[in-house]
Amino acid sequence: MVTTNEVGKNVAQRYHSRLEGTDIHPPLGIIDCMPSPTPYSVREASVVQVGGPGDLTGVGVEVTKMIESMNNRGYERVRLVLDSICPMTMYADIEVLFRFLQTMVGCIQATDSVGVFTIDPDSHDEQTLSMITYLFDYVLDVDGYSGFGVVGSTGFD
């Protein structure tokens, strides 16, 4: 998971609390784009911090490494969540962000993974939304909130 608007430690804690008492223990990797004054670690999760939501190179390198690591550990179909694209649009030129997202989509397709990318449509003009959503196989409207982009080389299975 790439988190651009919440500290990775909080995401990991919420994730683990929802699985308490179950036999489900999928691996969790978090790329944290939220600046933190001190390093931290989270139980049962791999957390990597990058420079911020505008550090597209750092995010891309860590996503690639995390997908490769999961594949090497026998997880054939990685699920990547990027929540949310919105902070990235504030720090990066839209054309640079488009190329970054295009690279992420290519990595997801090349590894037969699934990606879910979120964006708040009310935060962007129609041209920006059209440019970004063009990259995705599906755009979902969830509970009236439009703007979830999903990409997968074989869909949702």
Digit-coded pLDDT (tens) for 28-47 = 999 999 987 766 767 667 88
Quick check: 157 pLDDT over 50?
A: no
Structure tokens at 23: 């036999």
Name the DSSP class of 92. Answer: S
Give residue 76's pLDDT band: very low, low, confident or very high (50, 70, 90).
confident
Instruction: Return d(Cα 63, Cα 45) in angstroms, integer.
Output: 14
Q: Hey, where are the domains in the chain?
A: 2-152
Q: Is the dihedral of CA 102, 107, 110, 114 positive or negative?
A: negative
Q: With contact defined as beta carbons under 8 Å apart, do 130 and 146 qualify?
A: no
Residue pLDDT, tens place only, 101-148? 999 999 999 999 999 999 888 889 999 999 999 999 888 876 655 555
